[in-house]
């Protein structure tokens, strides 16, 4: 009986330490400032005239003197990001969009890439038809072997929110693209796309290209809010 109590005590202590560490890590990893899509006129749609909001983001292969990267209140993540060169979305992974609007996103892409596991994600999904362009040219997708990252916006596994799913691939910079003093390609690849928001809701987004570390390259930046995942609030 005494031994059983000791075993149980040890198990509960272990659970307590794990839960405590998770709560601590969550509290430390405070979200960056919210990046808001700004309404800039209207656009005509099959549903009539809707507000047109615009949002710009960049993707960098690693931080530099010019672009410090996500400043998380998390020394472990910051150190790993610096030593392993984590890529990140910039200037924020916390996004706010207006409800019942068209949202035009432009991503300035500076990172290299490779082959994505699921070729379905090398094509844009859930966007206004024909709105996907690369450097201003209409495209239907990216070669699955030439993807750098994706911006994949989706729902929590709950049924009480307006449906919203958007996934867009961004192509890789070529390995021999000329770079600047910060080590970034001198010219970004600009990807634009437009999608429609519905009623207010809270969503998450993440990258679906294996750009991280550890198991199937889905660790590190891939599992860290602020780098390759974040939140989307439709208000």
**DSSP H/E element including 79:** helix 75-84
Sheet holding 201-206, edge to edge: 35-36, 94-97, 229-234, 201-206, 147-154, 166-171
The Cα–Cα gap between 194 and 225 comes to 24
- Closer by beta carbon to Cu ion, 207 or else 234: 207
Task: Give min distance, CB of 162 to Cu ion, in A.
Answer: 26
Residue nearest to Cu ion (CB): 207
Helix (H) or strand (E) holding 233: strand 229-234
Residue 60 sits in the site that holds Cu ion (CB under 5 A): no
Cβ contacts of residue 105 below 8 Å, gap of 6+?
Answer: 37, 54, 55, 56, 57, 151, 168, 192, 193, 194, 195
Q: Show the binding pattern over residues 123-162: x = contacts Cu ion (CB under 5 A), - = does not.
A: --------------------------x-------------
Considering the complex, what minimum distance in angstroms separates the CB of residue 71 from Cu ion? 19
Q: φ, ψ for residue 98 (rounded to 5)? A: -75, 145
CB-nearer residue toward Cu ion: 97 or 211: 211
Whether 105 contacts 145, CB under 8 Å:
no
Q: End-to-end alpha-carbon separation of the chain, Å?
A: 57
Return the range that interacts with Cu ion (CB under 5 A); candidates 15-23, 64-72, 102-110, 208-216: 208-216
- Least CB distance to Cu ion at residue 87 (A): 6
- 207 interacts with Cu ion by CB under 5 A: yes
Please calculate the CA angle 125-131-135 and round it to the nearest 5 degrees: 105
Q: Which is nearer to Cu ion, 106 or 223 (CB)?
A: 223
Q: Does 209 bind Cu ion (CB under 5 A)?
A: yes
211 binds Cu ion (CB under 5 A): yes
Rg (CA), the chain: 20
C-beta closer to Cu ion: residue 50 or 107: 107
**Nearest approach, Cβ of 212 to Cu ion (angstroms)?**
7
Shortest distance in whole angstroms from residue 210 CB to Cu ion: 8
**Binding residue (CB under 5 A) for Cu ion from 153, 228, 232, 234:** 228
CB nearer to Cu ion: pick between 52 and 228: 228
Binding site for Cu ion (CB under 5 A): 149, 207, 209, 211, 228
């Amino acid at each position: 009986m005494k031994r059983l109590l000791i075993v149980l005590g040890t198990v509960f202590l272990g659970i307590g330490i794990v839960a405590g560490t998770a709560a601590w890590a969550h509290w430390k990893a405070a979200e960056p400032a919210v990046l808001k899509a700004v309404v800039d006129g209207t656009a005509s749609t099959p549903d009539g005239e809707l507000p047109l909001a615009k949002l710009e983001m960049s993707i960098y292969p690693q931080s530099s003197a010019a672009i410090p990267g996500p400043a998380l209140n998390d020394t472990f993540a910051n150190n790993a990001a610096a030593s392993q060169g984590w890529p990140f979305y910039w200037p924020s992974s916390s996004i706010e969009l207006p409800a019942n609007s068209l949202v035009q996103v432009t991503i300035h892409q500076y990172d290299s890439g490779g082959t994505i596991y699921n070729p379905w994600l090398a094509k844009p999904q859930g966007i206004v038809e024909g709105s996907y362009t690369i450097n201003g040219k209409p495209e239907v997708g990216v070669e699955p072997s030439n993807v750098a990252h994706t911006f994949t916006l989706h729902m929590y596994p709950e049924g009480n929110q307006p449906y919203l799913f958007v996934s867009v691939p961004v192509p890789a910079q070529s390995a021999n693209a000329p770079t600047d003093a910060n080590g970034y390609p001198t010219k970004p690849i600009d990807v634009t796309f437009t999608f429609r928001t519905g009623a207010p809701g809270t969503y998450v987004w993440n990258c679906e290209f294996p750009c991280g570390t550890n198991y199937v390259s889905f660790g590190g930046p891939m599992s860290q809010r602020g780098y390759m995942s974040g939140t989307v609030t439709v208000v």
